[in-house]
Structure 1
Amino acid sequence: MALANLFKRKASGPPASGRADRGLLVFEHTSEVIRAERLLKESGREIRVMGPPPEIQRGCDLVVEFPLMEKLDILRILDEAGTAPLESVPVTGPLLSPVDLFQVKDFGDHLMVRAANMKLTVDKKTRTIVNVSGGGCPDVPYIAARLIGRTLDEAPAPREIGHTLCGYALELAHAEMVRLCSS
């Protein structure tokens, strides 16, 4: 194997959580998590937004899981952008494993994906969004009205029309639903 290939980033997603080579970034506000996610993905980093383990719940209800070997570069990127985390915690055991944000429920003709407190349900045959529920943010009714009755391909991305934690969680559910319905 060529030496250059040893340092190439993998195209696949990040390794399974709970491994000693992962760390968690803890932020005060959800908007900081969203900004950090965008910055780090744009820089080619393999990160995931997850729910925090109970032992480190501070600030908002999300953490960023990242490759621990890239900690210094990641912290530099975030610091330069004015989005430094409250803390960086290595995943040292199963108690510090982040919680997956997604729950999937198959109802036969319909499939529901829950991300955090938001749920998106589609008709499996037509890929039409039949329900949006959850959350308590003021933009949820507007987002739901724009999505229900449209297919996954026709519906606008929730991040384009929502601006709250509920809109962000619905974007995650939408992206997961698209992934599940495409396989």
Structure 2
Amino acid sequence: MNFRKLFGSKPSGRPAETQADRGLLVFDNTSEVIRAEKTLRENGWSVKVMGPPPEIQRGCDLVVEIPLIEELNILRTLEHAGTAPLEVVPVTGPLLTPVDLFQVKDFGAHLMVRAANMKITVEKSTRTIVNISGGGCPDVPYIAARLIGRTLDDAPSPRDIGHTLCGYALNLAFEKTLELCSS
């Protein structure tokens, strides 16, 4: 029986206090990262997808940052879901610090957010999406056609209409743009 089911507690979901409190889940491919992130979020953990530091790149350009104190429970959850990582690497020094996937550029009237290789640009005053660029995946033109000209509030989530790494990266940029335009 699951401890949480017995005692009603939830995963803490709190961000790590220090670098030593964080760990990185390393996966073989991007699909596994996406499944792991979704599984962990559905189970209440606050996780972050990042770029791996060069020292631990294994086959995927993404890692999942987790609170290391929750490692055992997280691994059990992922193993139960059939998405176990190749390894867990504690963040023990500055060389193992993951790379933030986001770059934000404010052009005054417009805001551009880049996640990995995908960019979304919005007109700040109306929150209208004016451009989608980057990537080389086959679903990018379709996603762009569905988003450009719509407001952030009316546009579909790229995750719901895309099926590739580019769609996933664009969804990260979309969510970051929503966060920045709401504050």
Q: Same fold (TM over 0.5)?
A: yes
Query: For structure 1, which runs of at least 5 residues remain unmatched after alignment?
Result: 1-6
* Paired residues for 1:100-179 under 5 Å: 100-179=100-179
| Counterpart for residue 180 of structure 2 | 180
TM-score, L = length of structure 2: 0.92
Q: Does the alignment pair 1:42 with 2:42?
A: yes
| Counterpart for residue 29 of structure 1 | 29
Counterpart of 1:25, as a letter, is: L
Distance in 1 between the 2:11 and 2:80 partners? Answer: 24
Q: Percent identity?
A: 75
| Deviations, residues 13-71 of structure 1 (Å, cap 9, x unaligned) | x237x700100000011111111001111111121101100111112110000011111
Give the aligned length.
175
Shift of 1:9: 2.5
| Counterpart for residue 62 of structure 2 | 62
Structure 1 residues 168, 8: closer, same or farther in 2, change over 3 A?
Answer: closer
| Counterpart for residue 16 of structure 2 | 15
TM-score, L = length of structure 1: 0.92
| Counterpart for residue 51 of structure 1 | 51
Counterpart of 2:127, as a letter, is: R
Shift of 1:134: 0.3
Q: Secondary structure at the match of 1:20?
A: helix
Counterpart of 2:12, as a letter, is: R
Q: Secondary structure at the match of 1:49?
A: strand
Counterpart of 2:181, as a letter, is: C
Distance in 1 between the 2:109 and 2:47 partners? Answer: 33
Shift of 1:8: 7.3
Distance in 2 between the 1:62 and 1:41 partners? Answer: 16
Distance in 1 between the 2:71 and 2:19 partners? Answer: 15
Contact kept? 2:35, 2:83, Cα under 8 Å: yes
Distance in 1 between the 2:70 and 2:77 partners? Answer: 11
Shift of 1:91: 0.2
